[in-house]
Structures are given as structure tokens and as C-alpha cells.
Amino acid sequence: MYPFRYRTLNGANHKNGFTLLELVLSTGLAELMMVAITTSFLQFNQHKLLSQTLLQMQAQSQLVVAQVLTDWSNICGAGVKSGAAATISLMRKYQGNCMQYDYEHNAQSHNLTRRRFGGRKSSFIARVESMDLYFGVDNDHDCRIDQWRRSYQASAMVNLHQVKVDLELMTASSGQLRSGGDDLWLWRQSGEFVIHPVSFIWRLPNVCS
Amino acid sequence: MSLVRVVGTHQMYQKMHQQGLSLIEVLLSLGLSSVMFLVLFTAQTHSQKVLVYSHQLHYANGLLGQLAAQVWAYPHHYQNLINTSLTLDLGCLKGNQCNGADMTQAWATHWQQSLLHHLPGGAFNLQCNGACTQGNRLTIGLTWTQKLAVADDKCEKGVACIHLDIAL
């Protein structure tokens, strides 16, 4: 017989196999290890999905803001002609000419469309769940915004200073995040998309400057 | 070392281990596995915290951009934009016609509500280099509690801060 420190956990010392205690202990130990490994893998996967989604959300929102601001940066002539909650018409340069462009949110196809005067609508930004525009106007010509309106029509009575753009963007993500009981985000019912809001303010150039 | 001696040592090793793993070996390998899992878990937890911090920075940048737009819009009332002592209804931002003071106060209330949701202990601050007059520089800052933030010349450890300079 080996001294205690050399005794082993296998059944060689027991002519009739493992004892009940050894069996219970090894099963428990194996179970613990399996739980630890499974939890680690699940957490790792969850973390990977979360990182991917967050990065996509950030990249998407930055790109969308940059795209809209760049497109609206070279306005000309009368500037913004009119606007409502989800549409805006403005004059901007196109090949040296001042042309009217209409931007509109299409709720069916979930995108932002752009149409040059006399042309066809084309998709400008994809995966936009909703768009809300607010028009910061100056009614008394003191060069201060005194009202935020839901609609705007260019006239000599009011000056448009800023447009606040509230967008809800859709970012593709795995449904596994949703099943994880994560209620941080709003999900679109019909697909595996996370809805995230993006707000920015467009300051019109050359107003009271 | 002679061949006979090597074979002998090998046989001795086999004899010692023919009964399976000893308790100390099992315990040691279990301990090692636990340490490895602990390291993995700690690394992942830290990575998640960094992710949250990055998301906060992204949000804070957007907010600061909006604040800057209102500073330009209200050069005489921009101090109100960070005044959270008064709480105003948000009617000024929803169609009501308001004066500059009320409008800036409405923006402050609007942002304060948003800050509470996204940035723990979030607060704006405004500072001019000298007098807040034309020709000087205004610095808009945003700070919030974030354990991962390191100390720099403007912020202490545990407080994240970003700032934007505007020419008045």
C-alpha cells in the first residue's frame, strides 16, 4: 500500500472499482469544470457580438452625420426652401449650377432618399428607421432662434438658422444578443436590427454672420 | 548517461504512475485551470468596461457638438446652457416662441435629462481664457464618472472629460 500522499484517484486500489464518494466527487468536479468552460464561451461570444454591434453603431452614426452634413454644406441661392417633419428641400450646387434637391424619408424601404429637381429619387442613406426635423427660426430678425418648428417655408418674415436632425438608424446585429435578455436597445420586430438614435444640428452658413 | 540507466529510470517512472494521477497532481492542474479561467474572465470584464467607455465618449462628442451649436446661436445667454438649477418645461423646443434666456434654459433641461441616462455624474462646464468677450476663447467641457479614465492636466483620475474650444 502506498502512503497517503501517493494514493491515487483511480480504481486500481479498489478491487471492486470506484467508491461512491469518488464517483460523486469526480462527477461534481467535471460538472463544475464544464459549467466554467461553457459560461466562459457564452460570455466570450456575447462580448464579441456586443463589441461588433457597438462599433457598427458608432461607425454608422458618424458616417451618416458626415454624409448629411457634407451633402448640405454647399447650399446656394435661397438655401432651404421648405421642410416638414421628414422632408426638406434645399438649393445646392451641382456642376456649377444652383439646383433644388429634395430629401425625404421613405418609411417603407427604411431609407433616406434624395432627388434633384426634375430627376428621379435615389437612395441616399440606407437603414434609417425614422427622421424628425426641427427648424430653428428667428421670427423677429434679432439673429436669435426664438422658435423650433416642425415645418418651415422660406419667407421674408422668418430666417432659418439651424436644423435639428433626429434620426433613428438600424444596425444589423445577431439575435443572440436579443435573446440574452438585453433590454438596452430597441429591436425591430421584423428583423435582427438594433434601433439607435442619432441627433445633430446643422447650422446654416452665412446666417447673421 | 548509459542506455541501461535511461531505460531503468523510465521503468521507475512508469511504475510510479501506473496507478493514475496523484491527488496533488489533480489539485495542481485544477488550480492552474482556475487561474486561467480567472485571467480570461478578468480580461473580458475589463474589455467590456472599455467598450462602455468608448460608447460614452462617442455619445459625449455628439452632445458637445450640439452644445457648441447653441453657444453660437445665443452669444448673450450661453451661460444658461449649463445652468441646471432651474428646470424648465421643454415647450420652447417643441414649437413655443421663447426668448433667448428661456430657450437656452430649455436646452439645458433637455440635455440634463439625456445626461442622466447616458453618463453617470455627467456635468457641463464653460470656461473662458480671460474675459468671455469677443476675440477670446471659450472652452466647453463635459465630465462624468468613469473608473477607467486616467489623470491628465485637466482631469483627475476616475473622471472622464472632453472639451471643445470655440473662438468667441
Q: What's the pLDDT score for residue A62? A: 92
User: Does A200 or A180 have the greater pLDDT score?
Assistant: A200
The count of CB pairs under 8 A between chains A and B is: 95
Cβ-contact A50, A58 below 8 angstroms: no
- Residue A114 forms beta bridges with which residues? A103, A122
Nearest-neighbour CA in chain A from B127: distance (Å): 22
Query: Is the per-residue pLDDT at B106 higher than 90?
Result: no
Interface of A with B (CB under 8 A): 2, 5-10, 12-13, 29, 33, 36-37, 40, 43-44, 47, 50-51, 54, 58, 61-62, 134, 136, 139, 144-150, 161-162, 198-201, 203
Q: Taking residues B11-40, what's their average pLDDT? A: 77
Cβ-contact B62, A199 below 8 angstroms: yes
Tally the C-alpha atoms within 13 A of residue A118's C-alpha that lie toward its C-beta. 2
A-chain residues near B96 (CB < 8 A): 147
Residue A125's SS3 state is: strand
| Most confident of the following: A105-109, A192-196, B77-81 | A105-109
Q: Taking residues B40-63, what's their average pLDDT? A: 88
Partner residue opposite B98 with nearest CB, options A6, A146, A161: A146
Q: What's the pLDDT score for residue A101? A: 94
**How many other C-beta atoms are found inside a 10 Å radius of the C-beta of residue B149?**
19
What lies within 8 Å, CB to CB, of B79 at 6+ separation is B126
**Mean pLDDT across chain A, nearest whole number?**
85
Residue A205's SS3 state is: coil
Least confident of A127-131, A194-198, B164-168: B164-168
Q: What is the ipTM of this complex?
A: 0.71
**Mean pLDDT across chain B, nearest whole number?**
81
Query: Is the per-residue pLDDT at A1 higher than 50?
Result: no
- Measured CA to CA, the distance from residue A117 to residue B128 in angstroms comes to 46
B42 backbone φψ class: left, alpha, beta (φ>0; ψ -120 to 50): alpha
Q: pTM for this one?
A: 0.77
